[in-house]
Amino acid sequence: MRIAVLGVGLIGGSIGLAARGRLPDAEVTGFDPDPAALDAARELGAIDRAATSLEEAVRDAQACFACAPVGALPALVERALAAASADCVVSDVGSTKRVIVERVRDERFVGGHPVAGAETSGVANAREDLFDGAPWYLTPEERASGMLYERLHRLVAGLGARPLAVAPEAHDRLLAIVSHLPHVLANVLVSQLALRSRQRDERLGPVGPSFRDISRVAGANPGIWNDIYASNAQAIAEEIDEMGRGLAEVAARLRAGDAEAIDAWNARARGDRRRLLEADLAGGPVRELRVAVPNRPGVVAEVALAMGREGINITDLALAPAPDMRTGQITLWVTGEDAAARAEALIEGLGFPVAAVS
């Protein structure tokens, strides 16, 4: 497969390395406005060849990844779509999805977001295994081509990630709490410690492991994070408000000396965390489901999003149109007996017949 990577930093470079290292037929063309980054990417083996323009990189591609800070992505994706053929899926890797998906309306575009956090940046830190086992959110709209969505899903899985379909708004709300709010907390926490240190004229001594854990992401790369905060401000502000309410309740219980309430609160968090980890680690045997669907736009997105809403991980996905071209079949591979049973019920709930193949 011919893959174009626009922007060969940490993420773009790792896409190139993973594609070249793991996909037998990958040919990766890179473009970057910074010639030094492009040279480095070629030297590191992250791309097969360097294009001299975005248009040259995209022209013959079957898949294109736009890799840039969130604020620059809509324009970059639009340029890529203008240069790409009708048979090229264009995706991006931005950490927020609502803004870009609202703006880019093209059946060849599917928003994407690999959750591969790293404190580093730049192609020199790119790694073939960066996405291994990591969630890679895909935000297909109804207009997205089913065939191109399938291609992107398999490609992303081939890079080592776990593709998971989710609506753009749900993605941004989820990330507001699992990623953006933790970054906000880390920032506020380190600055609060620095403030206390100044107020009390005490040097910052060695800090404990819980502080290190929680402050690891403080002051994350401003070039990336300023755009994330700007493009998801409302959802982040709502999560901050909720956090403030939760904290005020805890402070009130502490001041009241209500040991029982504190105990119950801590136990509740313990249970919530356990369920969270269990959901994150769910595994099991891979089950194959064959779904008969009408051959119309939006069906693949509809099925993928229904699974994503329930947290069901689609390990692999294949589309096959029937000879009459009015119906078709989606084959899904799902991890875990329980997830497969839920997937079957869900898809039948959408009105599509399912055959489970074991």
Distance CA(310)–CA(130), nearest Å, equals 26
CA 194 to chain centre: 33
Q: Does 335 bind a copy of itself (CB under 8 A)?
A: no
Least Å distance between CB 2 and a copy of itself? Answer: 30
Q: Does 321 bind a copy of itself (CB under 8 A)?
A: no
Find, among 236, 221, 233, the residue nearest to 181 by Cα. Answer: 236
Kindly tell me which residue out of 52, 53, 85, 192 binds a copy of itself, with binding defined by CB under 8 A: 192
Total binding residues toward a copy of itself, as defined by CB under 8 A? 96
CA dihedral 151, 152, 154, 159 (to 10 degrees): 140
Burial class from Cβ neighbours inside 10 Å (0-12, 13-18, 19+) for residue 105 reads exposed
Q: Does 214 bind a copy of itself (CB under 8 A)?
A: yes
Q: In the range 281-310, which residues lie near a copy of itself by CB under 8 A?
A: 308-310
Q: In the range 267-286, which residues lie near a copy of itself by CB under 8 A?
A: 267-276, 279-280
Q: In the range 148-167, which residues lie near a copy of itself by CB under 8 A?
A: 162, 164, 166
**Closer of 31 and 136 to a copy of itself (Cβ):** 136
Q: Does 341 bind a copy of itself (CB under 8 A)?
A: no
Least Å distance between CB 167 and a copy of itself? Answer: 10
Q: Does 183 bind a copy of itself (CB under 8 A)?
A: yes
Kindly tell me which residue out of 1, 44, 72, 220 binds a copy of itself, with binding defined by CB under 8 A: 220
Q: Does 215 bind a copy of itself (CB under 8 A)?
A: yes
Least Å distance between CB 248 and a copy of itself? Answer: 6
Q: Does 338 bind a copy of itself (CB under 8 A)?
A: no
Q: Does 120 bind a copy of itself (CB under 8 A)?
A: no
Kindly tell me which residue out of 188, 286, 341, 350 binds a copy of itself, with binding defined by CB under 8 A: 188
Tokens 């240069």, located at residue: 83
Least Å distance between CB 69 and a copy of itself? Answer: 13
Kindly tell me which residue out of 75, 82, 124, 254 binds a copy of itself, with binding defined by CB under 8 A: 254
Give the number of other CB atoms < 10 A from CB of residue 47.
Answer: 30
Residue 87 sits at φ, ψ, to 5 deg, of: -105, 40
Distance CA(320)–CA(147), nearest Å, equals 9
Position 328, amino acid = G
Kindly tell me which residue out of 240, 292, 318, 346 binds a copy of itself, with binding defined by CB under 8 A: 240
